[in-house]
C-alpha cells in the first residue's frame, strides 16, 4: 500500500474517532531537511504527526519495541521509517537517519527515547543534539497534548481531544569541542524547553523548573 493511501486511511480514522487540533502547521518547512522533535505519551502520537504535517517525506525513528504493534509496524514499512534499538548505540539507525536528512526529507524523533507513562516530559537523550550537529539542519519542535488517555477513551467509545502545536524552526549552536558533553546537554535542553513552552504546565515534568523554559515563557505573548 502506498504511503499516500496509508495517510488517507489514518486521517479518516482520526477524523472520525478523535478530535484533532493543529496549531502552527505552517512552521514545518515546505521543503528541505529538518528534524521534527516531539514529546511522546501515546502510541497514537506517531500516526498523528504523519497526518498533521504538510510534508509527504516524513520519516520517523521508531523504537523497535513497537514492532508488535500492528498499526505502527505497518506505518513504519509503508513510510520507510526507521526502527531504533534503544538498548544500545544503534549506529545503523543513526546512519539511516543521516541519510534521510541528506536527502532533504523530514526526520521525526522523540528525544525522550521512550513513551512517557507519567503523562509529562521525561529527561531527553542527547542523541538528537548530536544528530542535528552532524546533519546541520534546523529543528522544528512539536508539542502533543491530549493523547495520554486516548487509548482508554477510545475503549470507552469516547472521542479524545488531541492537539499538535508546531513551533518555529531553529538552528542549534555549534557544539563546543572543549566541553562537548555539556554543549550536547545544553542543546538537548533547548529543544525540550521549546517543546515544553508550547504545552500546558501539567506536562512540563522534568523541565518544569528549567531556567530556559522560564525564559521562553517570558517571551511568549500572554492571551
pLDDT number for residue 219: 87
Measuring CA to CA, which residue among 133, 134, 137 is closest to residue 33? 137
As beta bridge partners, residue 63 has 84
Domains in the chain and their CATH numbers?
3-219 (3.40.1130.10)
DSSP label of 179: G
* Statement: residue 101 has pLDDT above 80: yes
- Residue 32 makes CB contacts below 8 A (sequence gap 6+) with 104, 137
User: Quick one: CA dihedral 111, 114, 119, 124, positive or negative?
Assistant: negative
pLDDT of 117-163, one tens digit each? Answer: 999 999 999 999 999 999 999 999 999 999 998 888 888 888 889 99
**∠166-150-49 over CA atoms, to 5°?**
30
Q: How far separated are the first and last CA of the chain, in Å rounded?
A: 44
CA Rg value for the chain: 17
DSSP label of 3: H
Hunting for cell 512539536 — which residue is that? 142
pTM confidence score: 0.92
pLDDT of 47-59, one tens digit each? Answer: 899 899 989 899 9
Amino acid at each position: 500500500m502506498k504511503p499516500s493511501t496509508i495517510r488517507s486511511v489514518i486521517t479518516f480514522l482520526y477524523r472520525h474517532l478523535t478530535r484533532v487540533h493543529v496549531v502552527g502547521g505552517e512552521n514545518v518547512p515546505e521543503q528541505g531537511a529538518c528534524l521534527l522533535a516531539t514529546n511522546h505519551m501515546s502510541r497514537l502520537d506517531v500516526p498523528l504527526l504523519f497526518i498533521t504535517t504538510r510534508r509527504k517525506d516524513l520519516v520517523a525513528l521508531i523504537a523497535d519495541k513497537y514492532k508488535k504493534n500492528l498499526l505502527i509496524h505497518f506505518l513504519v514499512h509503508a513510510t520507510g521509517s526507521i526502527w531504533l534499538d534503544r538498548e544500545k548505540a544503534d549506529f545503523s539507525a543513526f546512519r539511516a537517519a543521516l541519510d534521510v536528512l541528506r536527502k532533504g526529507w523530514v526526520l521525526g524523533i522523540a528525544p525522550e527515547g521512550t513513551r512517557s507513562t507519567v503523562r509529562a516530559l521525561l529527561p531527553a537523550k542527547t542523541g538528537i543534539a548530536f544528530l542535528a550537529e552532524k546533519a546541520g539542519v534546523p529543528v522544528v519542535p512539536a508539542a502533543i497534548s491530549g493523547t495520554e488517555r486516548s487509548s482508554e477513551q477510545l475503549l470507552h467509545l469516547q472521542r479524545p481531544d488531541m492537539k499538535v502545536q508546531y513551533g518555529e524552526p531553529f538552528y542549534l549552536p555549534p557544539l563546543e569541542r572543549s566541553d562537548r558533553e555539556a554543549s550536547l546537554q545544553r542543546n538537548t535542553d533547548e529543544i525540550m524547553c521549546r517543546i515544553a513552552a508550547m504545552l500546558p504546565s501539567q506536562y512540563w515534568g522534568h523541565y518544569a523548573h528549567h531556567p530556559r523554559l522560564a525564559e521562553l515563557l517570558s517571551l511568549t505573548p500572554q492571551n
